[in-house]
Each structure stands twice: as C-alpha cells, then as structure tokens.
Amino acid sequence: MLLYTVKRLIQGIVTVWFIATATFFAMHGVPGDPLMNDKAVKPEIRANLEARYGLDKPIHMQYWIYLKNMASGDFGISFTQQNREVNDIIREHFKVSATLGILAIVFAALGGILWGALTALYRNRAPDIVIMFLVILGISVPGFVFAALGQLSVVEINDWLGFTLFPVAGWGTVQHMIVPSMVLGLGTMAFLTRLMRSSMLEIANSDFIRTARSKGLPVTRILRKHQLRNAILPVITVLGPSIAAITTGGFVVELVFAIPGLGRYFVQAVQQSDYTVIMGTTVFYGAFLVFMVIVVDVIYGFVDPRVRLE
Amino acid sequence: MAEGTLSWERVQVEREVETVSRPSLSYWQDAWIRLKANRRALISLYLVIALVAFTLLGPFVWTVDPAAQDLDQISVPPGADRTATVVGDYSPWRGVTATATADDGGELAAPVSVSVVDQPTTNSVRLRWDPVPGAGGYRVYRNRYDPEPDGALGLPIAEILNPVNVSFEDRLDLKAETYFYSVVALDGRGRESPNYTTATAGVTRVITAAEAVEKGLIDNESDVQLGDTVEMAFHPLGTDYLGRDMLARLMHGARVSLFIGIVAPFFFVIIGILYGSAAGFMGGRADQVLMRFADFVVALPFLLFMILLRILFNVESGDSGIGPMLVAMVLLSWPAAARLVRGQILQIREEGYIGASRLLGAKTNYLILRHMIPNTMGVILVTLTFAVPSAIFTEAFLSFIGMGVAPPTPSWGSMCNEGLKTMLTTPHELIAPAAFISITVLAFNLLGDGLRDALDARMRATE
Amino acid sequence: MSDIAEAPSPNVPDGAAGTGLDVRSLGQILYLGGIGVVALGVLLWLLAQWNEGGAGEAVDAATGTITLSLGGEPPQLDSTRGTDAVSFNILGHTMEGLLRYDAENRLVGGVAERWEIGDTTATFHLRREARWSNGEPITAHDFVFSWRKVLDPVNASEYAFILYVLKNAEAINNGEMPVESLEVFAVDDRTLQVHLEQPVPYFDKLVAFATYNPISEAFYESRQGRYAADAEDLLYNGPFTIASWVHGASIRLEKNPLYWDADRIRLNAIDYAYFTTDPNAIINLFKDGKTALAGLVAENLDDALQRRWKIKRFSDGAVFFMEFNHRPERLTRNYHLRKAIQAVNDSPELVYKVIKLPGNLPAASLFPVWLKGVDGYFRQEYPLADPAPDDELGRRHLATAMEELGLSEPPTLVMLIGDSPTAKKQAEYYQNLYKQKLGIDIKIDAQIFKQRLAKMTAGDFDIVAAGWGPDYDDPMTFADLFASWNENNRGRFDDPELDDAVDVARSSSDPKTRMDAMARVQQILFDEAAIVVSYERGSVYVSHPRLKGIVRRAVGTDPDYTGAWIE
C-alpha cells in the first residue's frame, strides 16, 4: 500500500514536470509578450523591462530558472499585476474557485441522487417525465447560456420581490454563492440524475433485492438499507472525476457572475500574455488534478477490497 | 467378450436434418437489429442525418449568401412587417441656423415650436426649433415611449455646442415606429435646463429605388415610382446584428460546429487507434513508454491548454479559422482513445476465443481482421459518438470567451454568444442557434446510448 | 435515457411499486433530502466564513457610501509605472499632483497653490496644508524624487516619454546622463523649479497627468520594493485613501481626513465591490440596485428606455481609425489603393447602423471635436471637408492602383483587429463594404491584445483597426502620432511635410502658429489617406438618481466621483 502510494506520487511529480515543460514552451512559442503595451516603448526601456523579468536570458536559461523556482514553490511575479506574486494570486483566487466547485459538486450530488431516486420511484409518471425533460435540457444546453439566463432570472426575481433575494453578481456571502454554484453544478446534476435512475432500477432487479423482498422485509427498509445505498455507489465513483472537471470548468460562471475566481483570472492572464500567471495557474491546476486522481485511487483501494493496488 | 466381433459400419450421414437454428447473423447485422428496436436511438439517427442534410444540402435549397448584410433590416425577428415605401435618394441636410436673442438671465426656457421637417423616414428624421434666449447649445433626446409623466427623455441622441444651430438630423438606427423627440437648452457651461419640449415623429420604412435594385427587390429603377411600396427581402428566421439572414448563417454555422464536432473526434480516434494498437501489440517496454506519454498528455488541464494552443496556432498562422481549433482539440484528445483501444486489444488478446482461433491455426492477420477490429470498432464508434457533443460544447465555450472562429465565418457557438447580448430585445438571435446546439448534442447523446446498447452486449445497461 | 417503458422488468412487481411503496419511500427520499439540505446549509455557512466580500446598496445616504463596479484589479498603483485606465482612475481619487481638473474641466491648483510658467521655466509654489496621509507635509523634494524615478532607466517606466519636455529628461531615460542631472530643483520645501527643453504651451496640462504625481522618498524606501503593492504600501495625498483592497475582488476608498481640501469632498466612501467588464453583469448589477453607475451598450438601450432611466452621454476622447501599413513591401503603400478605400468609407453608416450607440460620432479627422484650438474648438476653427462616399471615385482609384501594382484583379488584404465583440462586428462590416464597393477581399486576423500589438509592431498586416486616446488636453497628443519618429506609428507612415508641421507645432509657443501646423497635419493625413478615420468614440451611461455631481471627461480622471454627493 505504502509502496504503491509512493510510486504513484513519484509518477505524479514527473507528470507535473511534463505539464510545466509543455506550458513553458507553448507559452514561449506565442509571439507577442507581456511587455508589449498600448504605447510603444523605446528599445532602451524595453531592455530594462526584459531584464527585470529575466526575459533577456536565453530560453534554456529561462527554463532552468523557472524549473528551479517552481521546485521551491515560487512561481514568480505577475507581469500585469506588477506588485503581486503569482503564489498570492493563486492562493486568493483558487479559494474562490474551490468554494464554487465544492458547492457545485454538493448541489449536483444532492440533486442528482434525490431527483434520480424520485424518477426511479415514479418511473414513466409525471414527476419522472418532468425531471427527465429537465435533465435533457441540462445535458444539451451550453453552460454559458444557462449562466446568462440564470443571472437574468435572478434580476427578474429580485425585481418582482422588491428586494434582493440573490445578488446578481459578485462574491462573498452565502447568497452570492447559491445561484452560481447551482448553475455550475447543473450539467453534472443532470448526468448524475440519469445515472442514479438507471442504477436504482438495475438494483431493483438484482438478486439480493429479490431475496430481501422474498424474505418479507418491509419495502422502505429495502429501499433504505439496500437499494439506495447500492445505487449511490456508482454515483460516487463518477463524482471523483467530476470534481476535477467542475473545479477547472468554472470559467464561464466566473465570467458571467463577476466572481473573482482563478478561472476568470486565467482567461484575463491569457489575454494579457501574463507568462508567469499562465504558467503558475496551469502547473497548479495540473498538479491539483494529478493529486486528486492519486488520492481517489488510493482511497478506492482502502474502501473497495476488490480493487487490488499494484 | 472375446468371441464377439465388432462390426464397424459406416453410418449414413443424414443430409436432410431439420434445421432449428436461425441463420447466423454477423456482428453488424445483429447490432443493426438491436439499434432498430431502440426507438429513441433510431429517431436520433434520423435527426443526425437530417442535420447533416441541413448542413450539406441546405445551402443549395436556401441560396441566400450568409455574409450579405442588409443594413436596413438589422435584428429583425421572424415574421416582421417588410413593406417599404420608395423614396428619392438621400441628400444631406444643411440644417437651420438662427441667431439666439440676448440672455434675459435666469432659467433657460423650453424651446418653442419644435417641429419635424419633411416626412420622417428610416433614412432620416429632421427637427428644427426656435432659438432659446441665452442658450449656449442644445441637447436632443429620443425616446420610444412617451416622456410624460416622469420626464424620462430617453436617449441623448445629440449635443449641439453652437447655439446658432437650431436643427438636428437624426439618422441613428431608425425603425418604423413612433419616436418622441425632446429638445432642451444648455447654458454656456453645458448644464442642462429642466425645461424641454417634445415632438413626435411617426417614422415610415423607406427604400430608395437604387437600393431596391441593388438588393434585388426590383429589376429596374423605372419599375417603381416614388410612393410605391416594395417588399423587403424575406428572412424566415429573421436577421442578425448586421442584417444577415439567420437561416443561411445557421446552415453555414453548422459547417463549422458539425465539422469541429465530427472531424476532430474522427482524427483523434484514428490517432488513438494507431497509437493504442501500436502500444497494445508491441507490449512490454515500448507499451510502458508509450502509455506513460499518453498519461502525461491526459494530465494537461484540457481547457487551459485548449486556450494556449489555440492562441499559439492562431498567431503562427494568422488564420483564425477552424484549423487552429481543430489541431488543438486533436492534440489534446487522442490519449483517451488510445488508452481505450489499447485496453480493448490487451483484453481481447487474452480471450478464450482468440486462443481457440489460434489453436485452429488462424494467422495474425486473420485474428486482427476477424476479431480485433470488429470487437474494438463497437467501443470506438460509441466513443466517437459521445465525443461529438463535447467537441461542439468546446467550440461554443471558446466562442464565448472570444476565441472562436474568425468573423465572418459563423458558428453556432459564436451566434449563441452574439445572441446572448440581445436576448432581452431580440431573443430570436439566441434561440435559433441554441436550439440547434441542443438538438445536435441531444441527438448524438441518444444515438451514443443506442449504439452502446446495440454494439456491445456486455456494455448494455438495464436502461 | 432509459428505455424502461419498452422493457418492463418482470422481476419488479409493479403493483408493489404502486401505492404503498410510493408514499413511504417518497418520505424516505424527503428525509434524505432534508438531511442533505441541512448539511448543505452548514457547508454554505462554513464556506462563507472562509471567503470575504459582500457589499451594500448602490447608494447609502446614512453612511455616505456609494457602490460601483470597476473594470478590474488596478494593475499598477505606483504612479511612476502605471499605464492603464483603471489604475489612473484609482490614482485620480487617491492622489493629487501639482494641478488638477475641476468639475467644469478647468485646471486648478492641486498641491501647487500658485504657479508661473514661462517659455522654458516653470515655478510651482506648494501649499502649506498639503499633507501625506501619515501627516507629513508634501515637499518639492517629493516631486523631484518621483520625476527622477520615472526617468530612471532602471525603473523602465512606460510613460516616461510624457516627462521628456523636462530638460535632460530624454537623455537620462536613455541612460546617457545620471538621474541627478534632471533640471528640476527643490528650491526650498515649498518651491519647485522646473527647466524645460523648449517652450511647452501645454505644460500646465501635462503636470495634471498622474505620472507627474509626487512620491515620498522616505516612505518609498521604507517599503523595500513593495511600494504600491497593497493598501498599506501606499501613502495618499488625494481626496480618498484605500481602506481595504481584496485583490482581484474589491477596493474600498474612504475619505482622507488629512486632504487639504477635505471640505470639498462630500462622499465618505466609494466601494468598488465588483470587478467586471461584462456588459450584462454591469447592467444587471445596476438594475438590481447594487451599483450606482453603469455604462450602456447598444444591445441594452431598449431595456434602458423601457425602464425609463435617465440616460446621459459623454465622449471618452478616443478616435478610431483604419491604419494602413506603409512599409515598402506592402500593397497598401500604394497611394491609389488607399484613396480607393478612403473614397468608399461611410463613417455615418458605420456609426448609425452598426455601432448604434449615441455619443459616438462619425468622423473624418484624426482630431476629435472636443479639442481646443486657438480660441474655440479646433475643429470649428479648422474644419476638414468631409466628402460623401463616392463609389465611382473609389473604383477609379482602384483601377489606377491595380495598373500601378500590376494586378489583374482586386487584391486580398489582411485586416488585423482585436478580439473584442465590437472590433469583430466592425471588421465584418468593413469586410462586406470593401467587397461590395471595390471587390477587395479582406482576410480578418483577430488577435488577442498582446498578440495584436506584437503583429502591429512587426508590421504583420495591411490594415489594422486602431484607436488613440488623449494623454493630455492639447491637439499635440494626436498630432505627433504619425510623425516618422513616433514608435506608435505602427504603419510607418513617413511624410517629411507632416514631420515638418509637427516640428513647427512643437517648437512654437504662438497658439495660432501651432494650430495652423496642426491643421496641416490634419490635411496631410486626409490627403495622403495615411489612415481612414472610422469614428470618435463616446458612450452613454446611467447613474443612480440620488447620486449627483459625477464628472465624465475625455482627459483626466473618468468617471470622477471626488465632487459627487448623495441627494
């Protein structure tokens, strides 16, 4: 077990190095650099600017310095936010993205399990049909359309109520968090509802439920003890990868709701060619994803005895 | 026992046994039967075929140029009134000037006799008024609603800094409706007087004979006379923000969206097959190295790298079309397919029937052709189908953050993004492309479900 | 999707799954849901503790606070190095230079109480009451320190050029002279003596620019390279101070009690609670009563009319144009090709049909209407004849151009644009226009900000959609743009006559001579079709009905809330 974990961690570190290298060269392959600005500057000033950021060194030196700094956890200083360290930027903005992501996952899981169970219960009757229709919408409408419509509905609801139930944009309080995280979790919720429904129905047909039923166990007990619990298992399996997807996929929601998250910041950094922020963010997210996968795998080894870790 | 002789006699082979088995079905025949039994999948299949026809054949049926701009019909919803009156050519107006009388101090009065000069048309609305004593200039407002009772004057459409100019010609985005124009005087320091005068103008939609010929509405300028009405061009799904035909743009946008959606997965699946089968067949050290590399690529954060590569290829080529997006998507997506194919091949290699086949003397070529490919094809086809919706979404996402295909090439994603801005006033610009994306995504998802059930008995869910 | 309908499972007794099961297990689900919702509530509460933020209503008369949205995090609040509009806006509210603009856009004393500007010298007398937010007085040394810092090549200030009028400034910035040789002296703590390279009639307007702001040397050194990195790493001398700064999320300004003219300031706090550039988010926040000012875009004008908002307009001072590439290897170097494109240009159509936003003006001149000339407005004194579009003339020019270039059909040109939706929309319009009128094919090359600049600098385009905003309130801020020596002349337009006119305008102190020279620049640019002007940018906005005294302007802090109050 320990050996396996160590092995996976080493692999993870090599993977992160690969991500860092790919990002570095992709970034430096793009012409145009962060030092360009609306007003052209003289070559003399430009040389000084380059020297400040170490861009005057040959590219292999820059790469080496970058790797060295990264190994010590230092991503350097932002080009556009000239007084801020990339580490600070990531710390401050990732907190927001993580909050949004966690909430979205919780909404998705909770909603998915509840709706899924409901549809299985009322299969082919009104609640099932209505929920499954919504699920189809959730799966097939692009996220940014949902986000924009979500914001618009909030405006209309507040207008109609005469007070602010949910803020239309911004971040900080509980009210700020609810609508964006629901919008973000919607796609996953739809997916999980579908999964939950089929998994519930499959288990309803399985041998052990039939056995339980034939033993005369009360139906509610069957549902609680066996069906629901076993149906949730595959849902939880799927949740692992979705966590990563949602945490990195919050760009759209962050843009629409003016949420100061890392995704929105990344898009801005790309537009400004802010090398250090782009590289820092990509490596950070890459490492985060790699780490999450390792954690999920290791935990799975503990939880499910059928999985053998090699 | 010893004495007994055994007589061996050849048994007659009975050729004419009653056959109870049904004719053996090939894998694909079987799959087709199962797919046909699945109503939803079948409908989706027809939908996909219809979408492809819409994309490929549509432009031959509806031959309107998707790039042709009709600046007289901007953001027109479907079914709007299209009649226009023929008028003479537009000639600039020199306006009216008058010397303002002396200042009597105090608050500036409301301008008097604000009136509309000439016939107000969608080409221009001309206003004039009498000078206000002491005014340093004027501000003209335009509203679609009556400014009374709360004095909401509307859009500040012009600012006249010279008090001798007492007229204004409005040409800003005029529609065939009634406008309320209000004029207020400004003092010498540009401060607005609270007093205003309102005049209304009922604007009629007009077109000049020359424009009508240019737009192909009539053949010759002599066909119509001033005051005649002509029908403007017909747009079944309305027009967009530059007066371009929505239907034509949807058809051409489908080319981009479906192209990205189908071709990108096609390419990365092919690369995946080659790479994965290479790894699967070589095995050992080579397999380890190849798959480790695939793992690295999988670990790259997808959207982040999608953006980076998109810019990289875009700048390099100066071509902001479909190409860069396609390359970026293929480069990042192949490892998943490669892993899948390799896994399948490793698995199938160990199957009993392969061993049996080999025992019977089957050659490697035969094994690959007869067993490996058919048995992996199912999984690959399903992967391909499910990859289409995510590719379409990725294109839409890139359009949303402003990194989609370059104008004027339309794509459903970029049309959606444009439509979002005007969703309150002209929702048709959002609804049509969004509906097409949704239908396509849904059709491919359902088709994928159906294919999965039909192609792989083991993968069949209870659903 | 499920297919249960077609394949009912024989093992589930449908009857049992009917009435009895339904009610009770629905209860189960609700029970589970209830637990989930409670857990969610706890989680939400915990997460809210972990995050910070939250803001009040648009205007709060009780506390004198207004809430606003801002285009983004200010990238650089060190006035010697700042370059962008957001930073300059925050600096405009928290700092003060020698002079400032008042509510009616007149120059008035800031830190300077009196000043005398001669031909090549200027003297500023500083106020005794002017103090930093730590209570220290502002001295002439603070200006000397800051101006030297701007010009110090090591500091690599991108706006250093705006100080080049000071004697020896350019040489210092080029590293040819030590910073101490800058001819700006603190005669005593309250007298600043400035020597200029040559007469600069608009020097008073220059010193109102943020790059000329003072910085306390002792404080700057005490921050050890972190000056302006955070709220406490700045010393303020303006109407407001930064009370809190949550990076990337919000900035809160509060009234500076030590400001010398604090009585003038009627707001207690300005809360920039939202950082966004998304027009929908901006307008929705305003609708919801969360922000006190919102810029409108053409797409939401109808909504604004329906809500009966009072809409105001202003000009932001910038001019947009199509800039040709005049490098020798380019087709656009051909005079007739440029004239052809100029002849079919229809600025009113672009403004009235495509941009559709009041406040924008059709234009033919590089010099916007609000610039002052000798006595009145420059454009009223020196009007530029703006002929109506003439397709026939355009086609004639094109024919000549094709002959000269040896082309058998109209060329394909690359149009470099930014990636904003407006830029794309206009490019699509022009693409169609040139195709329809001249048969010229345009290939649109849409690039994000820095990449577009890189391509502009490298000359990798035929036509680039560009714009120019004023730095100071004098036609010179536009006039020298296309001088052959100007680094911002990305198309490398090179005309000795224009260079000559710019030189005359720069070296003369006589208003008439200067404006005549500017008018020559205006005419040359048009006659040579160096650029084709598209429009002058303006905008419309709405503000909270109780918030009064907001100043919008083309040059200087915009929007300016220093004189605002809540009614």
- Domains in chain A: ranges and CATH: 86-308 (1.10.3720.10)
Q: Are strands C112-117 and C121-126 parallel, antiparallel or unpaired?
A: antiparallel
Q: Does residue A208 or residue A98 have the better pLDDT?
A: A98
DSSP state of C131: B
pLDDT > 50? residue A251 = yes
Q: Does any CB of chain C come closer than 8 Å to the CB of residue B418?
A: yes
Tens-place pLDDT, residues C493-524: 999 999 999 999 988 888 999 999 999 999 99
Q: What is the DSSP string of C315-375?
A: EEEEEEEEEEP-STTSGGG-HHHHHHHHHH--HHHIIIIII--TT-EE-SSSS-TT-B-SS
Are A143 and B393 within 8 A, CB to CB? yes
Nearest-CB residue to B171 (from C9, C312, C348):
C348
Q: Å from B131 to nearest chain A CA?
A: 43
Are B389 and A19 within 8 A, CB to CB? no
Of the candidates B142, B115, B110, B118, the residue with the CA atom closest to the CA atom of residue B127: B115
Beta bridge partners of C194: C122, C184
Query: What pLDDT, on a 0 to 100 scale, did the predictor assign at position C311?
Result: 93
Query: What pLDDT, on a 0 to 100 scale, did the predictor assign at position C463?
Result: 94
Which 535-554 residues of chain C touch chain B by CB within 8 A?
A: 540
Tens-place pLDDT, residues C129-166: 999 999 999 999 999 999 999 999 888 888 888 999 99
Q: Does any CB of chain B come closer than 8 Å to the CB of residue C134?
A: no
Mean per-residue pLDDT of chain A: 80
All residue ranges of chain C with pLDDT < 70 are 1-26, 28, 52-54
Residues of B in contact with A198 (CB under 8 A): 461-463
All residue ranges of chain B with pLDDT < 50 are 1, 459-463
| Mean pLDDT of the region A224-253 | 66
Query: What pLDDT, on a 0 to 100 scale, did the predictor assign at position C256?
Result: 94
Gyration radius (Cα) of chain A, Å: 24
CA distances from B118 to B115, B128, B139, B463, C395 (A): 10, 11, 21, 71, 34
Query: What pLDDT, on a 0 to 100 scale, did the predictor assign at position A129?
Result: 84
Nearest-CB residue to B438 (from A22, A140, A201):
A140
Are A26 and B309 within 8 A, CB to CB? yes
Q: What is the DSSP string of C191-254?
A: EEEEEBSS--TTHHHHTTSGGG----HHHHHHTTT-TTSSGGG----SSEEEEEEETTTEEEEE
Are B145 and C308 within 8 A, CB to CB? yes
User: Chain A residue with minimal CA distance to B419?
Assistant: A145
The answer for residues whose C-beta is within 8 angstroms of residue C209's C-beta and 6 or more apart is C97, C162, C471, C472
DSSP state of A124: T
Token pair in block for residue B228: 């005649």
Nearest-CB residue to C153 (from A44, A102, A265):
A44
User: Chain B residue with minimal CA distance to C452?
Assistant: B315
Nearest-CB residue to A257 (from C5, C281, C290):
C281
Count of pairs with CB atoms under 8 A, one residue in B, one in C: 124
Query: How many other CB atoms sit within 10 Å of the CB of residue C485?
Result: 9
Are B308 and A282 within 8 A, CB to CB? yes
Query: What pLDDT, on a 0 to 100 scale, did the predictor assign at position C17?
Result: 38
Are A103 and C44 within 8 A, CB to CB? yes
Q: How far is CA B255 from the centre of its chain?
A: 9
Are B424 and C1 within 8 A, CB to CB? no
Query: What pLDDT, on a 0 to 100 scale, did the predictor assign at position B316?
Result: 59
Gyration radius (Cα) of chain B, Å: 36
Residues of B in contact with C460 (CB under 8 A): 318
Nearest-CB residue to A198 (from B302, B423, B463):
B463
User: Chain C residue with minimal CA distance to B73?
Assistant: C353
Inter-residue contact B403 to C419 (CB < 8 Å): yes
Residues of A in contact with C226 (CB under 8 A): 83
Of the candidates A264, C294, A151, the residue with the CA atom closest to the CA atom of residue B401: A264
User: Chain A residue with minimal CA distance to B440?
Assistant: A140
Q: Å from B245 to nearest chain A CA?
A: 22
For A126, half-sphere exposure in the C-beta direction (CA atoms, 13 angstrom radius) is 0
Which 51-110 residues of chain B touch chain C by CB within 8 A?
A: 67-69, 71, 74, 92
Nearest-CB residue to C284 (from A31, A168, A228):
A168
User: Chain B residue with minimal CA distance to C300?
Assistant: B422
Query: What pLDDT, on a 0 to 100 scale, did the predictor assign at position C79?
Result: 92
A90 φ/ψ sector (left φ>0, alpha ψ -120 to 50, else beta): alpha
- In percent, the amount of chain B with pLDDT more than 90 equals 9
Residues of C in contact with B188 (CB under 8 A): none
Nearest-CB residue to C444 (from B143, B406, B463):
B406
pLDDT > 70? residue A309 = no
Locate all alpha helices (DSSP H) within B23-156, ordered by sequence: 27-37, 39-56, 58-61
Count of pairs with CB atoms under 8 A, one residue in A, one in B: 112
Residue labelled with tokens 């444009």: B418
Query: What pLDDT, on a 0 to 100 scale, did the predictor assign at position B280?
Result: 77
User: Chain A residue with minimal CA distance to C21?
Assistant: A219
Q: Å from C404 to nearest chain B CA?
A: 28
